[in-house]
Structure 1
Amino acid sequence: MRKGIRPALFYGMFALLLGGNAITGTALLMAPDIARLMSGQNELVMAAYEDRLAQMRVEIDRLHSRSYAQAGDINLQLQELSQQQDVLLEQHQLVRALVDKADRLGLANLDISMSAPDELAPVSTADGNPDIAATAQHVARMMDETQQAMTGIAVAATQRTDSIVGELGKLGISPHMPDDALAGMGGPLLAASGSVESTVLIDDANAVMDALLRYKAARDSLTLAPVHMPISGNFRQSSGFGNRKDPFTGGRAFHSGLDFAAATGTSVFSAADGVVSFVGERSGYGKVVEVSHGNGLLTRYAHLSAQLAHRGQKVSTGTPIAKVGSTGRSTGPHLHFEVRRGDNALDPKPFLDAGKRLLAIL
């Protein structure tokens, strides 16, 4: 007899098959929802990722913005420094010109320390970026140097001008100085523009130029003052200015100049710039040469053996105009030297002493 399938096993298998089919059917029925669910999750993930990317892009943009701003600041700073350097290089050249002019005027041996222009290029760091701080230090150093240089020139020129004017003033000579009345200025009041440092340097440079012009005027006036020795070589002062024992009468008499004993033929020089106003003989003086100096002063050179200049001749300080002799009322070869203002004889010694002091200064 054939055995059949037990009812319990049969129903169990049927239930299992039915459950599987139900699960499969449910899965098939729910597949779109699952797909949408999974798709939604991916979209959320992608959306979140894209949001993060967007945030990263924003951060990167911000970083780029800060970088560009920083680069802009650097470029702006370098541009400002470059402009300052251009101005300062011009000032550097101006100071050099002022130093050269000071040298030509005799203001030598000034302690001027200047950096070379090629030392003022922007300095780079190890990574090749410009070193703003180092460049600024270069600019500041040059500003200090130009300021010190111009101050040194102005101080030297002013001191020497004051010395010349003071010495000439003691002699009753008033040098013709630049007229401050011709320095008038004006114009509408407008807001300041450009570099403050540049304006200050230009003002300082103008002040230095004014000091040099005043010094030049004072020095030019000095050339017209009879403060230079009219003789050189072997000589001695044999008689002073004022009352003395007359060498011929033995009595008291007034001597109107200084006597310098020297060998016959010794050269006699003009004591200042001027024009020869007289060549000839005067009673008691023998052979004479006189030079007018254009400031009310006249110098007289007497007892000459020879006259080298002619009337109307322009002479400079140190121009040979005569030779020492013993003509006229004289006991031996010597130069009689007078300084006169109008009809009055002045003591030549203060003039020659002032010349020695100024020579030591200048």
Structure 2
Amino acid sequence: MRVQASFGRSDSERDRATSRTGIHPALFYATFAVLLGGNALLGTALLLSSDISRLMSGQNEQVIAAYEDRIAQLRVEVDRLHSRSYAQAGDMNLQLQELAQQQEVLLEQHQLVRVLVDKADALGIEAAALDSPSSLPQQTTTVPLAATGNPDVDATAAAVSQMMDETQLAMTSIAEAASARTASIVAELEELGIAVDLPSADDGVGGPLLPPSGDLQAAPLVEDANTVLAALMRYKAARDTFDGAPIHMPVDGNFRQSSGFGNRKDPFTGGRAFHSGLDFAAPSGTTVLAAGAGKVTFVGTKSGYGKTVEVTHASGLVTRYGHLSAYLSEMGQAVQTGTPIAKVGSTGRSTGPHLHFEVRRNDSAINPRVFMEAGKRLLAVLS
């Protein structure tokens, strides 16, 4: 039987059968040696890494501290860059704020200059053209932007500089024109013996010496504006004297000068005789005008003059109007330059309608032509 045959085998036979089916000891030891060598190589490679070596050797706290130090250094660098950026932005904002403050001051001064321009225009002085303030930046919100979208500080500074140049040019032109015209008026009138009462350029000032306060940046322009205003006041005083001086034409409408001042052939006797004034031939009834501001001090008839009107002026000069046909003024009446005072006629010692015009000082006749020519020159300058 098979079972019996199996049980009937010897122990040696069973050992031989088992050895044929198991792992050979040599193969086992060889595999173990390979695995041990690989582990040794891997451990050596791991030990070559300094950081990992430190971690494996118990130095992980030092590695982490080193990483934290590097992170802290990077944060410091970032903060430093941010601080630098903020500082640059702060400088720009501060610069824009200063420019905006300058613009506000200049806009106020711009308005002041416009007032001066209006005053000058009322006196016949044309200043340099001023741009509208609306064309200039008003505040930081309207500051021009650069291509990057940031405020263009240079453009803002240029706008402020433009305003300063513009206001300075306008004031300079006003002051120069006013001073030149004042000088012309004074020179012409002084030649005629007419004094011009001008405001003093050195007004009385004083006070304790105190340290300056506030924004002094606008002080020069304000001082220039005050100088212009003083020049305009002096010109106005000179202009008033010019307007009131007896140097304006005393007749209106169509006329011609028919006789001059000085010796001439007398129209009645044919001999040489002295003519004490100027004759302006004009149609009868032509309006006679006051040659300057003053007061009517005579209305009536004078020998040789016929109907006559006399006006006494502030300078002491007297203008006489003769051969009139009618009176348009009365004694004691205050008249201005160009006020109608009479009408042309041919009364008295006259050969036809004309105005006999005289200028007298201390009851002596002086040449009216000098006054008329001075008036024409000044009108040309002032216009």
TM-score (norm 1): 0.87
Cα distance in 1, alignment partners of residues 57 and 271 from structure 2: 143
- Report the counterpart of residue 31 of structure 1 in structure 2: none
Q: 1:112 aligns with which of 117, 122, 129?
A: 129
* Distance in 2 (alpha carbons) for counterparts of 1:39 and 1:274: 120
Query: Which of 295, 298, 309 is 2:318 aligned to?
Result: 298
- Aligned partner of 1:199 in structure 2 is 219
Cα distance in 1 between the residues matched to 2:169 and 2:363: 50
CA spacing shift, 1:40–1:158, aligned 2, 3 Å? farther
Aligned to 1:254, the other structure's residue is in SS state strand
Partner of 1:278: 298
Q: Secondary structure at the match of 1:112?
A: coil
How far off is 1:361 after superposition?
1.4
1:45 match: 63
Amino acid at match of 1:331: T
1:189 Cα deviation from its structure 2 partner = 4.8
Identity %: 63
| Partner in structure 1 of residue 208 of structure 2 | 187
Q: How far did residue 324 of structure 1 move? A: 0.7
Alignment partner of 1:122 is 2:143: yes
Q: Secondary structure at the match of 2:342?
A: strand
Matched position secondary structure for 1:359 = helix
How far residue 239 of structure 1 moved from its aligned partner, in angstroms, is 1.2
Cα separation, 2, equivalents of 1:144 and 1:38:
78
* Structure-1 residue corresponding to 2:170: 149
Provide the C-alpha distance between the structure 2 equivalents of 1:232 and 1:245, rounded to a whole number of angstroms. Answer: 27
Contact 2:201 2:230 in 1 (8 A): no
Query: Rg larger in 1 or in 2?
Result: 2
Q: Determine the C-alpha separation between the residues in 2 that align with 1:106 and 1:211.
A: 14
Deviation at 1:124, TM superposition (A): 1.2
Rounded Cα–Cα distance in structure 2 between residues aligned with 1:53 and 1:310: 106
Change (3 A) 1:77 1:343: same
User: Which amino acid is the alignment partner of residue 262 of structure 1?
Assistant: A
SS in 2 for 1:182: coil
2:379 is the counterpart of 1:354? no
Q: Does 1:85 align with 2:106?
A: no
Cα distance in 1 for residues equivalent to 2:54 and 2:354: 134
Distance 2:129 2:163 in 1: 12
CA deviations 1:217-245 (Å, max 9, x no partner) are 10001112111101122211111111222
Indicate the residue corresponding to 1:65 in structure 2: 83
Distance in 2 (CA, whole Å) between partners of 1:35 and 1:216 is 100
Amino acid corresponding to residue 76 of structure 2 in structure 1: V
Q: What's the offset of the Cα at 1:167?
A: 1.0
Cα deviation digits, residues 108-128 of structure 1 (max 9, x gap): 3x3324253342241112333
- 1:212 is matched with 232
Corresponding position of 2:288: 268
Quickly say closer, same or farther: Cα 1:100–1:62, change in 2 above 3 A: same
Which residue, 172, 180, 198 being the options, matches 2:193?
172
Aligned residues: 341
Pairwise CA distance, 1:162: 1.1
**Which whole-Å deviations, capped at 9, do the CAs of 1:174-233 have from their partners, x for residues lacking one?**
11100234343443052475243x111111111111111111010001112111101122
Query: Quick one: which of 306, 309, 332 aligns to 2:329?
Result: 309
Q: For the residues of structure 2 that align with 1:93 and 1:218, how far apart are their CA atoms?
A: 26
Runs ≥4 residues deviating over 6 A: none
1:232 matched to which residue of 2?
252
- The answer on whether the counterparts of 1:224 and 1:295 sit within 8 Å (CA) in structure 2 is no
Quote the offset at 1:61 in angstroms: 1.3
Correspondence for 1:256: 276
Unaligned 5+ residue runs, structure 1?
A: 24-33
Q: 1:178 to 1:246 in 2, by over 3 A?
A: same
Q: Displacement of 1:354 after TM fit? A: 0.9
Aligned equivalent of 2:344: 324
CA gap 1:244/1:47 in 2 versus in 1, 3 angstroms:
same
Deviates more, 1:328-337 or 1:247-256: 247-256
